Amino acid sequence: MAGSLTENKRIIAVGDIHGCLHTLQRLLGLMNLQPSDQLVFLGDYIDRGNNSKGVIEYLMTLRDRYSCFFLMGNHERMFLDSLEKGTSQLWLRNGGAAMLESYGCKSGFDIPEKHIEFIQSCFYHLETEHFFFAHGGIDPDMTIQDNLHYMKPEDYCWMRTHLRSTYLENNRYTWKKTLVCGHTPMSRPIMLEKLIAIDTGCVYTDTPDLGMLSGVILPERTVLQTENIDV
């Protein structure tokens, strides 16, 4: 039931989930969701955690109740590349094996076609009047228009340059809107005038200061978090 993403209604952006279904459900429970809410999921729904299949199924059911927008994460991109070109050892080492296990795959990709189509349908970026959404990010030395012109689709999944200290410390970004992104685990969400980064490493429960799933309510920039309850 998704239409166009608009700032006339609440936008709720959710960080990297990585197969942590119950943690995702708890976070959304904290959001006091309303029928008019728009949910933007910033990518990396799969891999590493133990229930990639459950997360995809749950996200697909949310579409029936809310306006949902799903971004392509680098892990979804690696999965699709493996599907198209043959299983990648890089993907398997970076959590892909956990995804296949959640689907009970003994050999090959025994994954429902509807789940594959869901992942294929994810956006590489989304844009409203004041916000730009991408899993990884965009080049901080270019305007949004130049990013859209020069970047390849997969670049939006992997970009991290904007999180270097030289940019963070000076809030030095060429773009005019606020970038909302995930991808890079941080000990706490970053909230700057032109940058909101909310990957707080939900799946990394063994790493100090990580292990939280974060979401942000826009335009008021209210952050809500929950600890990982899937492990």
For residue 211, what is the domain's CATH number?
Answer: 3.60.21.10
Residue 27 lies in a domain: yes
pLDDT at 2 (0 to 100): 59
Lowest mean pLDDT among 71-75, 99-103, 154-158: 99-103
Residue 69 lies in a domain: yes
Residue 2 lies in a domain: no
- The band of 109, judged by pLDDT with boundaries at 50, 70 and 90, is confident
Burial of 181 (C-beta count, 10 Å sphere; 0-12/13-18/19+): buried
pLDDT at 52 (0 to 100): 98
Q: Are 63 and 39 in contact (CB under 8 A)?
A: no
Q: Are 84 and 54 in contact (CB under 8 A)?
A: no
Structurally, the chain folds into a number of domains equal to 1
Lowest mean pLDDT among 17-31, 56-70, 76-90, 149-163: 76-90
E-only strand ranges, 62-187: 67-70, 126-127, 131-133, 178-181
For 21-66, the pLDDT digits (tens) are 999 999 999 999 999 999 999 999 999 999 999 999 999 999 999 9
**What is the H or E stretch that residue 225 is in?**
strand 222-227
pLDDT at 106 (0 to 100): 76
Domain that holds residue 153: 11-227
Residue 179 lies in a domain: yes
pLDDT at 88 (0 to 100): 79
Residue 31 lies in a domain: yes
What strand order describes the sheet that includes 11-14?
67-70, 38-41, 11-14, 212-218, 222-227
pLDDT at 108 (0 to 100): 72
Residue 6 lies in a domain: no
Question: Is the pLDDT score of 1 beyond 80?
Answer: no
Mean pLDDT, rounded, for 185-209: 97
pLDDT at 231 (0 to 100): 78
Residue 160 lies in a domain: yes
pTM score, two decimals?
Answer: 0.96
Q: Are 192 and 214 in contact (CB under 8 A)?
A: no
pLDDT at 212 (0 to 100): 98
Mean pLDDT of the chain: 95
Instruction: Give the separation between CA 173 and CA 180, rounded to whole angstroms.
Output: 13
Residue 4 lies in a domain: no
In the chain, % of residues over pLDDT 90: 88
